[in-house]
Amino acid sequence: MLTDIMNSPCIASQLASKHAGLLPMSRLTARDAGFSLVEVLVSIVILSFGLLGMVGMQAASMQSNRDSRAQSAAVVLARELSESIRGNKAEGIKVAANNPYVGAFASPLTAATPSYCLNVATGTAACTSPADIANAQMTEWLGRVDNELPGARVAVCFDSDPFDSAGRPRWACNGTGSILVVKIGWTRGSTDKSKSGNAALERAVIPSVTLPVTAGS
């Protein structure tokens, strides 16, 4: 009896249609699962490249921040020295050979005639002349430049033409004119990103700060 029912054309047709609908669905689900896994893997790869780019941008941003801080510190230091020279005009207007402020200094920065007479420590002899004050100012100032700027280089000189024909600052001084120029440079990252290692560092090739100073009135 059951066999006759199963073999009836109506029942057989219904079963066939049900099986026909189930089989393609199962195969479609298997294909969809495979494609979804590939898509996830591709998404992970794309995300990885994006994250690598973000890391590179973060490193470049940090380098720019360091350069900006060093540049700001150098400008402040140059202004401080200019104010010291203006406040001690008697020494600031002297010719280069007798001027305590004039000189070329490379790291470690040391004054030509170190003096600590401005130190308030007990037992320190007080400054007795404008020249002593100038030497003490240069000693203290050069020490701070050395601490704040890596591989610092300083030149303080009379220079009527501190820039070359291309408009770039230069270390060489012509020794003429009545205006002192404070030049400060330091080791910084190269703007050429194709370089690496030591080649990626510019070691005070040119002054990064050039500040003319007029003695006080």
Of 42-46, 70-74, 144-148, 179-183, least confident by mean pLDDT is: 42-46
The total number of structural domains that make up the chain? 1
**In a domain? residue 32:** no
Q: What is the mean pLDDT of residues 96-116?
A: 93
**In a domain? residue 100:** yes
Of 23-37, 88-102, 176-190, least confident by mean pLDDT is: 23-37
| CA-based nearest residue to 215, from 112, 72, 81 | 81
**In a domain? residue 43:** no
The one-letter code for the residue type at 149 is: L
Predicted pLDDT of residue 152: 95
**In a domain? residue 92:** yes
Whole-structure pTM over 0.85, yes or no? no
Reported confidence tier of residue 41, pLDDT bands at 50, 70, 90 = confident
Predicted pLDDT of residue 27: 52
**In a domain? residue 130:** yes
What pLDDT digit, counting tens, does each position of 140-153 carry? 999 999 999 999 99
Predicted pLDDT of residue 196: 73
What pLDDT digit, counting tens, does each position of 194-203 carry? 777 777 788 8
Structure tokens at 124: 């320190």
Which H or E run contains 211?
A: strand 209-213
List all residues 6 or more positions away from 80 whose beta carbon is below 8 Å from its beta carbon. 141
Helices (H), 88-169: 89-92, 130-148
Q: How far apart are CA 12 and CA 18, in angstroms?
A: 10
Lookup result for tokens 């057989």: 12
Q: How far apart are CA 206 and CA 11, in angstroms?
A: 95
**In a domain? residue 45:** no
Task: Please give, one letter per residue, the 3-state secondary structure of 86-107.
Answer: HHCHHHHCCCHHHCCCCEEEEC
The count of residues in the chain is: 217
- Is residue 184 classed as helix, strand or coil in its secondary structure? strand
Containing structural domain, residue 131: 66-213
Q: What is the mean pLDDT of residues 37-57?
A: 79
Going 57 to 59 to 65 to 70, the CA torsion angle's sign is negative
Predicted pLDDT of residue 42: 81
**In a domain? residue 144:** yes
**In a domain? residue 12:** no
Predicted pLDDT of residue 198: 76
